[in-house]
Structure 1
Amino acid sequence: MQAALRFPDLSPELLSFTLFGMEFALRWYALAYIAGILIAWQLALRAVRRATLWPGDAAPMTPQQIEELLTWIILGVILGGRLGFVLFYQPAYYLRHPAEIVMVWQGGMAFHGGLLGVIVASWLFTARHGISRLGAADLIAHTVPPGLLLGRLANFVNAELWGRPTDLPWGVVFPGPAAQNCPGVEDACARHPSQLYEAGMEGLLLGALLLWLVYRRGALKRPGLTLGIFLAGYGLARFIVEFARQPDAQFVSPGNPLGLALQVQGWGLTMGQILSLPMIALGLFFALRARRGSA
């Protein structure tokens, strides 16, 4: 077996207990969602209380409106993330088993779908209250990376969404199916810890960049700039990590071992890369427009 790191003995459950004959558990992934939302809420409150960060020294929302928006966003994340997974990744399966669409506790959420859910929820909320849509989008965008960081760390703890096989010294032997079916490897299979790559790029680096731009470079004074950098930054990070990430099983076949969702003359893209390209393009559009508007 090649040099590799053994997966640490981690349980996906932080704690579990039985009450009235029923099993209840607090999972790391659920905790990551809760902590990510709480951190985003506090970052948003801090930003709107600093009027000098905004155009005309006037924040687009009040702290009370942020608390109301939070409920809308939570619904957008859950509904959008679930429907995105159903439509983007396993439409045929859920067409045969429609009752399982609502079973979110069984897993299956898509970030791109969750993002669309947040966009729709925010659009409806800002229209209802007469709030600047770009201002609200900038506010939300700079609060998202901490949740992405925690979510990807939870993916690692759960030993899910692992990467492609690798012989690099930091490859990890994950438990279960991930340790099997590596071409040319008879023993346990080491894989890229792609969850940690994403945590570092989408969460830590992108989050640090956005906070620096907001608090040191006055990014919020240029409507659309923070939103654009977030969209382009996340899309680029996800596009790059997809080269190391194991594609979803439904796209892998003997004739398509790389799990490409789109192939043209030997070249192709995974579903994650396809969904990331519009984010990169839209992000560049907003960022460039904001830069030109401030010139």
Structure 2
Amino acid sequence: MALPLFSTEIPSPPRGVWEIGPVPVRAYALCIIVGIIVAIWWGERRWQARGGSPGFVIDVAVWAVPFGLIGGRLYHVITDAHRYFGEGRNPLDAVKIWDGGLGIWGAIALGGVGAWIACRRRGVPLPAFADAIAPGIVVAQAIGRLGNYFNQELYGGPTDLPWGLIIYERVDPDNPLITDRLGGVSNGVVEAVVHPTFLYELLWNLAVAAVVVWADRRFRLGHGRAFALYVAGYTLGRTWIELMRTDPATHVFGVRINVWVSLLVFVGAVVYMIVARKRGDREPPELLRGHGPGEAADAEKEPAAVKADPGKADGTAGDDSSGGAAGTAAGGADDAGKTDGDQPEQG
């Protein structure tokens, strides 16, 4: 296909993988990493602004990110099993996450499990944490779509619009006769000009992030409502964008499975926002600080006498007529590690 001399179409990158010695550097992986960093950085700032402890978002990310990557890959493999299993397919390709293929629903679901574990360990409510990281997550998704751009994947049907995306033929740099769509280099031959659905979703995600930030400031969203707004906004756009895509996908009743999932999740998010509204304003800052790692377990092991009279733990039980007993209790509490004297992490 020949293009006019002065074209307004969007050219695809000539390649998505670069070799630095024996190490392949993949644009898709870099975009995912940058997105995660942005989500953590912004989430940390929002968390502290709401009264949470510094460093908590990073602590949660240690659990949530690995869980999310595994969940995203599992969802992709399950819903696109035809790409990895069956005649002529290599099941080992299912673990090659660097070649692209992460399902956002699996990433959110299993990533949420990881976040719940981390929040529970620190005594922090998961919905409050979710509200803080919501805008960062959707911006991370926008950055991740740039990875699809470099991979020349997940685009729409042919178009003659000025912003059409040019898809080039890519070949093995060592053997120009072998087509390599992911790891190859463009030979300049145009395969098609299509709808840049990666760009549509990228712009939509940025708009959703802006709406969540505005609504959160305007209405002081709490108890998971900011996160639910993000989910509702994202799924609303994902529904119509998904209908434009032409890449192979599993269909249910003639419709791409991700369309059905988007619709169901949208309804669930809206219902949650309505129900959570009854819980009132945001969670108080002190609830977001939780406790330090291991402090909950230490508290459970405190002597019953200390729990019954916390004043004895710091030696302030001056009204106790049996002064010797009070001193013994205070000394015992000190010898036990002064657990009641330790203050929760205040941030």
User: Would the alpha carbon gap of residues 164 and 65 (structure 1) be closer, same or farther in structure 2, given more than 3 Å must change?
Assistant: same
Deviates more, 1:153-162 or 1:81-90: 153-162
Alignment of 1:201-280 (within 5 A): 201-202=204-205, 204-219=206-221, 222-246=222-246, 248-249=247-248, 251=250, 261-263=251-253, 268-280=254-266
**1:87 offset after TM fit, Å?**
1.0
Alignment of 1:193-208 (within 5 A): 193-202=196-205, 204-208=206-210
Q: Secondary structure at the match of 2:194?
A: coil
Partner of 1:85: 76
Whichever residue aligns with residue 249 of structure 1, its letter is P
User: Would the alpha carbon gap of residues 137 and 101 (structure 1) be closer, same or farther in structure 2, given more than 3 Å must change?
Assistant: same
Q: Is the 8 A contact 2:134 2:230 kept in 1?
A: yes
Whichever residue aligns with residue 212 of structure 2, its letter is L
Task: Pick one of 103, 114, 117 that aligns with 2:107.
Answer: 114
Where structure 2 has 5 or more consecutive residues not aligned to the other structure, the ranges are 171-189, 282-347
Partner of 2:41: 42
Q: Is the 8 A contact 2:12 2:152 kept in 1?
A: no
**1:189 offset after TM fit, Å?**
3.0
**1:126 offset after TM fit, Å?**
2.0
Give the greater-gyration-radius structure (CA): 2
User: Would the alpha carbon gap of residues 83 and 188 (structure 1) be closer, same or farther in structure 2, given more than 3 Å must change?
Assistant: closer
Q: For 2:82 and 2:121, locate their aligned partners in 1 and report how far apart those are by CA, in whole Å.
A: 33
TM-score, with normalisation over the residues of structure 1?
A: 0.77
User: Would the alpha carbon gap of residues 98 and 158 (structure 1) be closer, same or farther in structure 2, given more than 3 Å must change?
Assistant: closer
**1:10 offset after TM fit, Å?**
3.7
User: Would the alpha carbon gap of residues 27 and 169 (structure 1) be closer, same or farther in structure 2, given more than 3 Å must change?
Assistant: same
TM-score, with normalisation over the residues of structure 2?
A: 0.67
Q: Is the 8 A contact 2:225 2:273 kept in 1?
A: yes
Q: Note if 1:76 corresponds to 2:80.
A: no
Partner of 2:117: 124
Q: For 1:31 and 1:206, locate their aligned partners in 2 and report how far apart those are by CA, in whole Å.
A: 23
**1:92 offset after TM fit, Å?**
7.8
Q: Note if 1:5 corresponds to 2:4.
A: no
Partner of 2:193: 190
Q: For 1:69 and 1:212, locate their aligned partners in 2 and report how far apart those are by CA, in whole Å.
A: 25
Partner of 2:145: 152
Q: For 2:13 and 2:49, locate their aligned partners in 1 and report how far apart those are by CA, in whole Å.
A: 44
- Matched residue count: 256
Q: Secondary structure at the match of 2:128?
A: helix
Q: For 1:212 and 1:10, locate their aligned partners in 2 and report how far apart those are by CA, in whole Å.
A: 38
Q: Secondary structure at the match of 2:25?
A: strand
Whichever residue aligns with residue 280 of structure 1, its letter is F
Whichever residue aligns with residue 269 of structure 1, its letter is V
Q: For 2:83 and 2:165, locate their aligned partners in 1 and report how far apart those are by CA, in whole Å.
A: 32
